[in-house]
């Protein structure tokens, strides 16, 4: 028999993942607010954004989600079968191979920086291009350390240790915040961007160092016995190629957006970067949290094919419901309250209200495909648990082609056809990527349902969630119109009031409409309040 679904344990694991991601994202938002204060939407901001994206390609192709999807199913299955020593040897061998591969790729990246900038930021010229090349060379070694940190995450997740691996990026953010605060008082523009790049490298080292002791303790010893575990290591490396494209397509699509945005007026690349930080929040907090918690559980299922498929359907249905509960209001907030959100987080110093409105238009485009992209992460995890990396790859390639084609038309051609400013083409980028995300999701769902049986997310549940989010938005806009001018002009004060009300009304409406997740949250809160009241004083 397969292991019975452990929904409570899965929910708790997702909560630990979510908490770690939340704390690291809060640190990241603080970093971005400090970045916005010193850089705004100026040319140095464009250069740094592009420079970070180029070596990040290495992290996105070999990092967290990709390595986990190819490594965790093998490692977790060995542990489920009681073969802990073999699992440790596999993990050690994969780490050794990964370190060798990353070292070579980092060296190549540093040497090829001018050509990479020409390829991925073709619209950059003159000093802006030269500064970007220098920043890429500084950043590449730090990104290599982050790839090794992703191996640490895979080991910890397989042992159901979720918090540290997802909270470790706090150190990466804090290092950059410290450098900005120290360097911002001394230099400006491109020199400050160099300071920040070195701060990112230091943060990468700290992020890896804090996890290594825990991982080595879980493994028992670092013993890369290649000859004894060649078959299992081969399976990991065999899966890695398809997963690189399949799981990394969200990031690859973002690179396509960045390339196209480099042809738009100055400031578009930076604004797209601000919007993508916000766009990735619900994907990370909810889609990644649920998918990361479910992958080792689904990979550990043993028993007959029928039993495994039944358990997978159960986990998939519960995961989709949890994701929808949080992502639906995120989409509505991006679409209707995006200026409030971007002003709350970024409007300071050189980042103006007009910049916040510009970011809002890009966020509005992101709302088109947010739910589909987040659902797609969980569907892909089911395939990886089934040792099928080819099917998600095929659909990911379809999405990538559509993202590039539709993005080109929407960003560079459509503004001219409509007679609007070229800068607004950035919103067309994110909206077209959302359309491509929906097509990928439909393909994933149809194929998986043919294999496992239908897993339906009730239309009534989605209707209740959209209704609750709509009521929350109406309440938020009513308060927005009613606030005195002196208060509404203060982005932090007005943002906290408006967005807090939006969230509270959404939760209350969902609870009144009988949404199970809202009722569970309410019950959990009630238990914590009673526990707090019963504690001795």
pLDDT tens for 37-83 read 888 777 888 888 888 877 777 776 676 666 777 788 888 888 888 88
Q: In Å, how far from its chain's centre is CA 192?
A: 27
pTM attached to this predicted model: 0.74
Q: How many beta carbons lie within 10 A of that of residue 139, not counting itself?
A: 26
User: b/e for 353-364, b at 16 or more Cβ within 10 A?
Assistant: eebbebbbbbbb
Strands (E) in 431-509, as ranges, are: none
Report CA torsion sign: 291, 297, 303, 306: negative
Structure tokens at 432: 């077209």
Pair of tokens at residue 199: 């701060």
Residue pair 25/112 in contact by the 8 Å Cβ criterion = no
DSSP H stretches of helix in 347-423: 353-366, 370-385, 390-408, 414-418
What local confidence, expressed as pLDDT, does residue 478 receive? Answer: 93
Query: Which pLDDT score, from 0 to 100, does residue 2 have?
Result: 38
Residue 514: CB atoms within 10 Å: 11
Side-chain-side CA neighbours of residue 497 (13 Å): 16
pLDDT at 227: 61
Q: Specify the pLDDT at position 252.
A: 66
Residues 6+ apart with CB under 8 A from 521: 507
Sequence-separated (6 or more) residues with CB below 8 Å from residue 315: 5, 7, 10, 294, 297, 298
Taking CA atoms, 189 is separated from 36, 124, 127, 192, in Å, by: 12, 16, 12, 6
Number of other residues whose CB lies within 10 A of the CB of residue 59? 22
Q: In terms of Cα–Cα distance, which of 315, 290, 293 is closest to 375?
A: 290
Q: Cβ(423)–Cβ(268) under 8 Å?
A: yes
| Cα gap 187→403, rounded to integer Å | 39
Cβ neighbours of 4 (radius 10 Å): 11
Measured distance between the N- and C-terminal CA atoms of the chain, rounded to whole angstroms: 48
CA-to-CA distance for 528 and 175, rounded, in angstroms? 35
Q: At what angle do helices 289-299 and 126-158 cross, to 10 degrees?
A: 40
Residue closest to 500 by CA, chosen among 479, 524, 515: 479
User: Which of these, 183, 176, 185, lies nearest to 206 by C-alpha position?
Assistant: 176
The answer to whether residues 76 and 296 touch, using CB atoms and an 8 Å cutoff, is yes
User: CB of 72 within 8 A of CB of 158?
Assistant: yes
Q: Say what angle helices 370-385 and 289-299 make with each other, to 10 degrees.
A: 20
Instruction: Say whether 5 sits in a helix, a strand or coil.
Output: coil
419: number of Cβ within 10 Å: 6
Task: Identify which of 229, 253, 296 has the alpha carbon closest to the alpha carbon of residue 57.
Answer: 253
- 522: which 2 tokens? 């309410």
HSE of 388 in the Cβ direction (CA atoms, 13 Å)?
Answer: 15
The answer to whether 381 and 298 have CB atoms below 8 angstroms apart is yes
**Confidence at residue 385, expressed as pLDDT on a 0 to 100 scale:** 86
* Weakly modelled stretches of the chain, pLDDT under 50: 1-8, 486, 536-537
Q: Residue ranges of the domains in the chain?
A: 7-457, 458-521
What is the structure's pLDDT at 108?
Answer: 92
Place of tokens 């050690």: 92
Task: Residue 475: name the closest of 512, 510, 500 by CA.
Answer: 500
**Integer Cα distance of 70 and 97 in angstroms:** 14
Q: Given phi > 0 = left and psi -120 to 50 = alpha, else beta, which region is 514? A: left
CB count in 10 Å sphere of residue 44 = 24
């Amino acid at each position: 028999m397969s292991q019975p679904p452990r929904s409570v344990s899965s929910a708790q694991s997702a909560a630990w993942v979510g908490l770690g991601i939340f704390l690291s994202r809060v640190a990241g938002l603080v970093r971005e607010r400090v970045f916005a204060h010193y850089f705004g939407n100026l040319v140095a901001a464009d250069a740094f954004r592009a420079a970070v994206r180029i070596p990040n390609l290495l992290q996105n192709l070999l990092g967290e989600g990709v390595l986990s999807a190819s490594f965790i199913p093998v490692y977790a299955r060995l542990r489920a079968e009681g073969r802990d020593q073999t699992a440790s040897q596999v993990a050690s061998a994969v780490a050794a191979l990964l370190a060798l591969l990353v070292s070579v790729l980092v060296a190549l990246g540093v040497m090829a920086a001018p050509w990479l900038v020409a390829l991925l930021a073709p619209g950059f010229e003159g000093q802006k291009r030269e500064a970007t090349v220098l920043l890429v060379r500084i950043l590449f070694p730090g990104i290599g350390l982050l790839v090794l940190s992703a191996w640490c995450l895979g080991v910890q997740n397989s042992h159901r240790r979720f918090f540290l691996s997802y909270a470790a990026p706090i150190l990466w953010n804090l290092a950059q915040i410290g450098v900005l605060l120290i360097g911002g008082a001394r230099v400006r523009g491109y020199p400050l961007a160099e300071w920040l790049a070195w701060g990112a490298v230091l943060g990468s080292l700290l992020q890896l160092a804090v996890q290594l002791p825990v991982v080595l303790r879980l493994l028992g010893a670092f013993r890369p016995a290649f000859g004894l575990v060649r078959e299992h290591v081969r399976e990991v490396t065999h899966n890695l190629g398809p997963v690189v494209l399949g799981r990394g397509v969200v990031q690859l699509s973002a690179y396509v957006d960045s390339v196209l945005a480099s042809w738009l007026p100055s400031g578009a690349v930076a604004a797209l970067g601000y919007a993508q930080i916000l766009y990735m929040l619900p994907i990370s907090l909810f889609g990644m949290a649920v998918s990361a918690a479910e992958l080792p559980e689904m990979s550990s299922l043993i028993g007959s094919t029928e039993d495994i498929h039944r358990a997978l359907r159960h986990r998939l249905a519960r995961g989709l419901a949890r994701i929808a509960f949080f992502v639906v209001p995120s989409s509505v907030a991006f679409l209707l309250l995006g200026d409030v959100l971007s002003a709350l987080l970024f409007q300071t110093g050189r980042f103006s209200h007009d910049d916040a409105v510009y970011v809002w238009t890009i966020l509005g485009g992101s709302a088109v495909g947010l739910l589909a992209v987040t659902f797609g992460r969980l569907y892909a995890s089911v395939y990886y648990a089934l040792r099928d990396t080819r099917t998600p790859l095929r659909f990911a390639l379809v999405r990538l082609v559509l993202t590039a084609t539709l993005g080109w038309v929407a960003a560079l051609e459509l503004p001219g056809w409509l007679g609007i400013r070229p800068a607004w083409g950035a919103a067309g980028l994110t909206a077209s990527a959302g359309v491509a995300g929906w097509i990928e999701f439909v393909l994933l769902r149809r194929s998986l349902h043919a294999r496992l049986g239908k897993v339906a997310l009730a239309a009534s549940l989605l209707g209740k969630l959209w209704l609750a989010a709509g009521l929350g938005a109406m309440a938020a806009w009513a308060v927005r119109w009613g606030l005195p001018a002196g208060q509404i002009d203060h982005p932090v004060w007005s943002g906290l009031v408006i967005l807090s009300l939006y969230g509270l009304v959404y939760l209350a409406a969902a609870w009144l409409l009988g949404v199970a997740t809202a009722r569970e949250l309410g019950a959990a809160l009630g238990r914590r309040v009673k526990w707090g009241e019963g504690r001795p004083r």
